[in-house]
């Protein structure tokens, strides 16, 4: 079995972080066994190296090693890819096909992004782990396979289990041994070493002098969050190598290549998501309220139209209480541009006797625009926000708690373009 230093040299692993060394040591120790391994860590930390180390230091190294990206295979074909299928099993299955578990018999299968597997496939995988059996798609014949399974994920598996997106029994079978690779921000002492390695590689590739970091820029990259980890650091090193003429990099130059330098907290992403969801729910609520208000206005208008008709006497007499309840002996204002005035007094003694208990002067009932409806309030809020932001839509949208796209639509809808720059 190889030692730690030779492993690093063989697989191009840079760094001496204790967490990294611990992960490599665990990989070497479990390689001599056949137990299942789950590699965890954020995207871009180099999880794909661990299954290679395990396979090459195991007794299976002379058999096949197959890496499968579970997240890149469509749900409809993942079972066929892993377990194979019989001819005619589905449309397009013109011949029998062997799956990865059959092809890699005796070797190792690396299931990257295993948390993306659909639930039916998880059931099939659990059977392989428990007794080494699988059935091809479209077949009833049980087949045996002898493979070592190493899986990897960047998901928090306990959360996936709680949301019923991943089977708990499968998780415990996969994670007999769990190997965690620390994120780059927890390996600060390794960041300058990795940058120098990438800078040297790109200098050779593009035939140019190697980049160097001054003291301030070195401190800057060591304290940057690196949400994309090693993959992001390599990408930044390549950009700098190609785009910068200066070979000695100052912190001011490097800052230009580090996105969201002052806005790196993951909580901000969740906050934006919550604001987006809240904005959507608020728009739905506004729509429901406006629709209800419109229906009520239509009902009032219809009632008054009926009262104005020639056959309204009997209706009025039977619904005096309802009329008083709706209009409440005061000016009733609804969303109608045209004002109406009606008189419902009847001179006949018969009408006076029947309506004596409900003496009510309807001549004072006026229908006109409501002074401050929900719609008016919304328009006023948008106007004020645009004024405070001096017409800057992005700033106004942030103040209102809605997306810039939604604000643009409302500005156009309410004809507020004159308030912008």
Per-residue DSSP letter, 210 = P
pLDDT over threshold 70, residue 69: yes
Helix (H, G, I), strand (E, B) or coil at 380: helix
In whole angstroms, what is the distance from residue 19 CA to residue 417 CA?
57
Mean pLDDT of 234-261: 91
- Position 268 scores a pLDDT of 41
Mean pLDDT of 316-321: 64
pLDDT over threshold 80, residue 222: yes
Give me the half-sphere count of Cα atoms (radius 13 Å) on the Cβ side of residue 218. Answer: 12
Regarding predicted confidence, which is higher, 396 or 314? 396
In the structure encoding, which two tokens stand for residue 384, read together? 């004020």
Residues 327-372 pLDDT 10s: 554 444 444 444 444 444 444 444 444 444 444 444 344 444 444 5
- Position 267 scores a pLDDT of 41
Mean pLDDT of 150-154: 97
Window from 100-104, 229-233, 321-325 with minimum mean pLDDT: 321-325
- Position 328 scores a pLDDT of 55
Residues 82-134 pLDDT 10s: 999 999 998 888 999 999 999 999 999 999 999 999 999 999 999 999 999 99
In whole angstroms, what is the distance from residue 20 CA to residue 200 CA?
22
Q: What is the mean pLDDT of the chain?
A: 82
- Confidence grade of residue 311 (pLDDT, cut at 50, 70, 90): low
Buried b (16+ CB within 10 A) or exposed e, 78-110: bbbbbbbbbeebeeeeeeebebbbbebbebbbb
pTM: 0.62
- Position 402 scores a pLDDT of 83
- Position 48 scores a pLDDT of 95
pLDDT over threshold 50, residue 373: yes
- Position 419 scores a pLDDT of 61
Q: Which residues share a beta bridge with 179?
A: 39
pLDDT over threshold 60, residue 272: no
């Amino acid at each position: 079995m190889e030692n730690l230093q030779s492993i690093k040299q063989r697989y191009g692993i840079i760094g001496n972080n204790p967490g990294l060394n611990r992960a490599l040591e665990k990989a070497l120790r479990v390689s001599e066994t056949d137990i299942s391994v789950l590699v965890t860590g954020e995207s871009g930390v180099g999880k794909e190296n661990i299954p290679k180390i395990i396979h090459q230091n195991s007794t299976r190294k002379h058999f096949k090693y197959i890496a499968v990206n579970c997240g890149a295979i469509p749900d409809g074909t993942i079972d066929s890819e892993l377990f194979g299928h019989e001819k005619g099993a589905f449309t397009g299955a013109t011949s029998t096909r062997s799956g990865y578990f059959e092809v890699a018999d005796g070797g190792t299968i690396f299931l990257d992004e295993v948390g993306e597997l659909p639930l039916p496939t998880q059931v099939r995988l659990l059977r392989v782990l428990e007794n080494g059996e699988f059935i091809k798609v479209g077949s009833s014949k049980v087949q045996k396979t002898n493979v070592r399974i190493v899986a990897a994920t960047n998901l928090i598996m306990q959360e996936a289990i709680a949301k019923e997106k991943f089977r708990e029994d499968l998780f415990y079978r996969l994670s007999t041994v769990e190997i965690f690779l620390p994120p780059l921000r927890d390996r600060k002492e390794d960041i300058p070493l990795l940058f120098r390695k990438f800078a040297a590689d790109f200098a050779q590739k593009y035939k140019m002098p190697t980049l160097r970091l001054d003291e301030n820029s070195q401190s800057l990259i060591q304290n940057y969050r690196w949400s994309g980890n090693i993959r992001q650091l390599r990408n930044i090193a390549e950009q700098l190598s190609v785009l910068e003429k200066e070979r000695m990099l100052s912190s001011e130059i490097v800052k230009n290549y580090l996105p969201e330098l002052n806005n790196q907290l993951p909580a901000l992403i969740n906050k934006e998501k919550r604001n987006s969801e809240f904005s959507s729910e608020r728009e739905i609520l506004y729509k429901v309220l406006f629709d209800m208000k419109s229906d009520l206005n239509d009902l009032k208008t219809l009632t008054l139209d009926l009262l104005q008709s020639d056959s309204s006497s009997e209706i009025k007499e039977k619904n005096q209480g309802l009329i008083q309840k709706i209009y409440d002996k005061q000016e009733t204002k609804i969303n109608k541009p045209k004002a109406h005035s009606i008189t419902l007094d009847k001179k006949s003694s018969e009408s006076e006797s029947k309506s004596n208990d409900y003496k009510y002067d309807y001549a004072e009932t006026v229908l006109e625009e409501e002074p401050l409806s929900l719609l008016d309030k919304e328009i006023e809020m948008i106007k004020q926000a645009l004024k405070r932001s001096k017409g800057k839509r992005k700033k106004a949208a942030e103040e209102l708690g809605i997306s810039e796209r939604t604000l643009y639509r409302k500005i156009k809808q309410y004809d507020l373009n004159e308030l912008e720059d």
